[in-house]
Amino acid sequence: MTTDVTDIRQNPPVIRQLDEGAINRIAAGEVVERPASAVKELVENAIDAGARRIAIEIADGGKRLIRVSDDGCGMSSDQLPLALQRHATSKIDGSDLLNIQSFGFRGEALPSLGAVGRLSIVSRVDGQAAAQITVNAGEIAAVRPAALNAGTVVELRDLFYATPARLKFMRTDRAEAQAISDVVKRLAMAEPFTGFTLTDMSGGDGGRVIFRADAETGDMFDALHGRLARVLGSEFAENALRIDAEREGLHMTGYAALPTYSRGSAVQQYFFVNGRPVRDKLLIGALRGAYSDFLSRDRHPAVALFLDCDPHQVDVNVHPAKSEVRFRDGGLARGLIVSGLRHALAEAGHRASTTVAGATLGAMRPERPGGAPVYQMQRPSAKARGAAYQAQAPGFAEMAPGSAHTTPGFAETAAVYARVEALDDTGSEESAVPQAGSVPDTAPNDPPAVQETFPLGAARGQLHENYIIAQTADGIVIVDQHAAHERLVYEKLKTQMAAHGVAAQALLIPEIVDLSEEDAAQLLAVADDLRRLGLSLEPFGGGAVAVRETPAILGAVNAEALVRDILDELTDLERSSSLQDRIEAILSRVACHGSIRSGRRMRGEEMNALLREMETTPHSGQCNHGRPTYVELKLSDIERLFGRT
């Protein structure tokens, strides 16, 4: 459809001032996108009011009812009408729009909600009587007395009834309720010392509690750990590393999961800036860069990270829903996330997530048959087991008195059991009893008992020339020898590269890449960083750059394609890691080909040496693709597999 320019000139459009109701409905389209947006605004208001208990009730996915009750400071009767006026707020005075220390500050939420639904506010300030005000589709009623102990109750009914066209864009009740739950959980993570309850009132009868998180106690890290366990689950809490890093006034705290506790999507990635939940591509890109060396592209890390800084260092007024922020120094924020997470992952050493063992046990556990349980006899002590093994050995018959050439019977074996059980721990006969699982002659220098005290234990054997079985003080460890050694070799190669740099190969004829002057300037600004990675660039006049050297480890490479990939990443994330990623991918392949191959039989000292090196090498708990290199099973878990609990 085209516009007739002649008609416009003859009948120019008239500029009109929109009425207050239309303005509020237009604003509501930006602030209140769906019921979850309304819940977010109301709960944030409750948090800003200093609430320690917040109850949220919804019906029909929030389309029919949203009620938020809190025990905050409340509003006086003379303040209620002002709260429904646009751009009226108690959060800021307007003198400094960068010094934002609260969730809300625009004064748009309540007027917008009142413009598209039926809004009721009941509030009470300590020492004063409670008051109520209502507004239907922008029409504000007079303030009247009400009954309320403390705090504020905001009730929103029939959302978007004044703009029915918006209802056509709503999703199902279940989907909208899920979105509300996600919003409440994010805010609950941001405020661990505040209690939250979300109830679905759709079915009546008092409703159904969807989510509940009582206020946590203790210091900040303990409270956050408890809240994350409640919101994200105990498995995340068990496999998360504590993060506490600071750089140039930017402080990062929170928890990040081990690489072996990765997810199939980015559903468990939570970022908070000065306590505000945000979804920011800069932070997501930094997280991806921090885990790039440990996860394949189809796996995603799980984190809950909190960045705190001077409010003047970050602008939170760049998005209508305040879900995005802009850092004054984006590179500082990105660098802190990458270095802080990698440092924490390195400190974790060879540790792998507990879910690895759980998944292994789940795969091994057979279906429990019906019928009465089978009771097992009590497990004998180590001395009794050793005596039993000796009794069953071929040479035992010759040692039994009166049985020079016959195998021992039940009586002789029982006598040995009784004799061993009666021995004191310091008895003189203890040394004569062989211990269960003694190591072969190929064991390394440390005695088996000492090796079992190491985190990965002492090697006891090799299965299918690929899996090392080690015994620890309280269980067993199964190691994938190829994956483990691949990681060890890879870490050594990276250390060597960091110490000696990346070798560069000079091009016989420099390759000229034509770019715009802006792109060329952006690329040449990071030329020194690229040169340390083996890529040498020089200006060639105008917007062209000359590629004189490329990383030798990459071999023959399309220099122009490489340069344009780096430029695209610089434009998107203000930082490029594509060249380093390519080099590390080559190192990973070199490590794969240079590591112990599957199918190779290893001696006892080789297996134990591999275990000891894993214990001292960072990130050895997962291979270069994020898969676990070992599985640890506790003895109690193994006994449950055999019904010996």
**CB-count exposure of residue 15 (10 Å: 0-12, 13-18, 19+):** exposed
Judge contact between 487 and 592, C-beta under 8 A: no
Confidence grade of residue 330 (pLDDT, cut at 50, 70, 90):
confident
What are the CA-CA distances from residue 475 to residues 379, 384, 431, 616 (Å)? 15, 19, 24, 20
For the chain, the first-to-last Cα distance in angstroms comes to: 77
| Confidence band, pLDDT 50/70/90 cuts, at residue 372 | very low
pLDDT of residue 322: 67
pLDDT of amino acid 190: 93
Q: What is the mean pLDDT of residues 350-363?
A: 61
Quick one: average pLDDT of 247-268?
89
379 pLDDT more than 70:
no
pLDDT interval class at 585 (50, 70, 90): low
pLDDT the model gives residue 152: 94
Choose between 430 and 20: higher pLDDT: 20
3-state secondary structure 126-175: CCCCCEEEEEECCEECCCEECCCCCEEEEEEECCCCCCHHHHCCCCCHHH
Identify residue 248 by its one-letter amino acid code: E
**Torsion angle of the four alpha carbons 82, 86, 87, 91, in this order, in degrees rounded to the nearest 10:** 50
Task: Select from 2, 140, 142, 133 the least CA-distant residue to 75.
Answer: 133
Q: Under CATH, which number does the domain 220-348 receive?
A: 3.30.230.10
Q: Are 325 and 276 in contact (CB under 8 A)?
A: yes
Residue 315: Cβ-neighbour burial (10 angstroms; 0-12, 13-18, 19+): middle
Using pLDDT thresholds of 50, 70 and 90, give the confidence band for residue 155.
Answer: very high
Cβ contact 457:451 at 8 Å:
yes
Higher pLDDT, 87 or 464: 464
Lowest-confidence region among 23-37, 422-436, 627-641: 422-436
The reported pLDDT for the residue numbered 138 is 80
Total residues belonging to the chain: 645
Q: Are 456 and 630 in contact (CB under 8 A)?
A: yes
Q: Which CATH number fits domain 444-645: 3.40.50.1370, 3.40.50.9100, 3.30.1540.20, 3.40.50.2030?
A: 3.30.1540.20
On whether the CB atoms of residues 611 and 453 are closer than 8 A, the answer is: no
Q: Which are the contacts of 616, defined by CB distance < 8 A and separation ≥ 6? A: 349
pLDDT-wise least confident of 71-85, 323-337, 561-575:
561-575
Give the rounded percent of residues in the chain with a pLDDT score beyond 70: 71
Q: Which of these, 301, 308, 265, lies nearest to 286 by C-alpha position? A: 301
pLDDT of residue 39: 94
Say if residues 243 and 271 touch (Cβ distance below 8 Å).
no
Q: How many helices (H) and strands (E) does the chain have?
A: 23, 23
Identify the weakest region by mean pLDDT among 126-130, 164-168, 448-452. 448-452
135 beta partners: 119, 140
State which CATH number among 3.40.50.970, 3.40.605.10, 3.40.50.300, 3.30.565.10 fits the domain covering 20-205: 3.30.565.10
Reply yes or no on whether the pLDDT at 398 is more than 50. Answer: no
* Least reliable range by pLDDT among 140-144, 160-164, 289-293, 449-453: 449-453
Neighbours of 590 (CB within 10 A): 15
* Angle value at C-alpha 487, between 616 and 363, nearest 5 degrees: 100
- Full 3-state SS string of 496-510: HHHHHCCCEEEEEEE
> Would you say residue 76 has pLDDT above 70?
yes
How much of the chain is in helix, strand and coil states, percent to nearest 5?
A: 40, 20, 40
User: Where along the chain do the CATH 3.30.1540.20 domains lie?
Assistant: 444-645
pLDDT band, residue 403 (cuts 50/70/90) = very low
Name residue 634's beta-bridge partners.
475
pLDDT score of 305: 95
CA distance linking residue 413 with residue 389, whole number of Å: 10
CA 184 to chain CA mean position, Å: 18
Q: 137, exposed or middle or buried, with CB in 10 Å at 0-12, 13-18, 19+?
A: middle
Q: What is the pLDDT of residue 438?
A: 36
How large is the angle between the packed helices 281-291 and 559-573, nearest 10 degrees? 130
- Which is more confident, 21 or 115? 115
Stretch 123-141: mean pLDDT, rounded?
90
Residue 591 has pLDDT above 80, yes or no: no
Measured from the Cβ of residue 585, the count of other Cβ atoms closer than 10 Å reads 14
Q: Report the pLDDT averaged over residues 354-367.
A: 58
Residue 596 has pLDDT above 50, yes or no: yes
Pull the structure tokens for residue 556.
């023959």
Distances (CA, A) of 8 to 1, 17, 18, 334: 15, 20, 21, 51
Q: At what angle do helices 481-500 and 578-594 cross, to 10 degrees?
A: 130
**Of 28-32, 243-247, 342-346, 470-474, which gets the smallest average pLDDT?**
28-32
Mean pLDDT within 606-632 = 83
Mean pLDDT of 462-477: 88
Contact 243, 255 (CB under 8 A): yes
How big is the CA angle at 65 (ends 62 and 69), to the nearest 5 degrees? 100
Confidence at residue 534, expressed as pLDDT on a 0 to 100 scale: 81
Across the chain, mean pLDDT equals 78
Q: pLDDT at residue 610 above 80?
A: yes
For range 65-86, the mean pLDDT: 89
pLDDT band at 13 (very low <50, low <70, confident <90, very high): confident
pLDDT at 597 over 80: no
Give 264's contacts (C-beta < 8 A, 6+ positions apart). Answer: 298, 299, 300
Which residue is listed with tokens 């979850």? 36
Residue 286 has pLDDT above 60, yes or no: yes
Tell me, what's the pLDDT at 91? 58
Residue 593 predicted with pLDDT over 70: no
Asked if the model's pLDDT at residue 579 lies above 90, the reply is no
**Residue 350 contacts residue 259 (beta carbons within 8 Å):** no
Mean pLDDT, residues 595-617 taken together? 83
Domain with CATH 3.30.565.10 in the chain: 20-205
75-89, 94-108, 545-559: which has the minimum mean pLDDT? 94-108
Per the structure block, which two tokens stand in for 102?
A: 């609260």
Per-residue pLDDT at 484 = 86
Distance CA 188, CA 184 (A): 6
The confidence band for 260, taking pLDDT boundaries of 50, 70 and 90, is confident
Across the range 388-392, mean pLDDT stands at 49
The predicted model gives 441-463 an average pLDDT of 71
The gap from C-alpha 21 to its chain's centroid, in whole angstroms, comes to 43
What's the pLDDT at 590?
A: 59
Tell if the pTM clears 0.85, that is, is over it.
no
Measured CA distances, 90 to 49, 106, 493 (Å): 10, 10, 58
> Tokens 């829903």 belong to which residue?
321
Residue 599 has pLDDT above 80, yes or no: no
Out of 319-323, 396-400, 494-498, 571-575, which region has the weakest mean confidence (pLDDT)? 396-400
Q: 443 pLDDT band (50/70/90 cuts)?
A: very low
Q: What is the pLDDT of residue 518?
A: 85
**Apex CA 264: angle with CA 263 and CA 266, to 5°?**
70
pLDDT at 179 over 90: yes
Is the pLDDT at 441 greater than 50? The verdict is: no
Question: How many other CB atoms sit within 10 Å of the CB of residue 494?
Answer: 17
> pLDDT band at residue 475, thresholds of 50, 70 and 90?
confident
Instruction: Return the amino acid letter for 588.
Output: S
| Residue 207 reports pLDDT greater than 80 | yes
pLDDT of residue 225: 94
